[in-house]
Amino acid sequence: MDAARPGASQAARDALLIQVAAVALARHPEMNATFSDAKIHRHSVISIAVAVATEDGLYTPVLRNADRLGLEAISAGVRELTKKTREKRLKAEDLGGSSFTISNLGMYGVDHFFAIINPPEAAILAVGAVQARPVVNGAKQVVAGKVMNLTLSCDHRVVDGVVGAKFMAAVKQLLEQPAKLLL
Q: Which residues are catalytic?
A: 156
Q: Bridge partners of 150?
A: 127
Query: What count of other Cβ atoms lies within 10 Å of the Cβ of residue 43?
Result: 16
Q: Whole-angstrom Cα distance, residue 78 to residue 87?
A: 14
Nearest Cα to Cα of residue 97 among 19, 53, 17, 34: 34
What lies within 8 Å, CB to CB, of 173 at 6+ separation is 180
Contact between residue 119 and residue 96 where contact means Cβ atoms under 8 Å apart: no
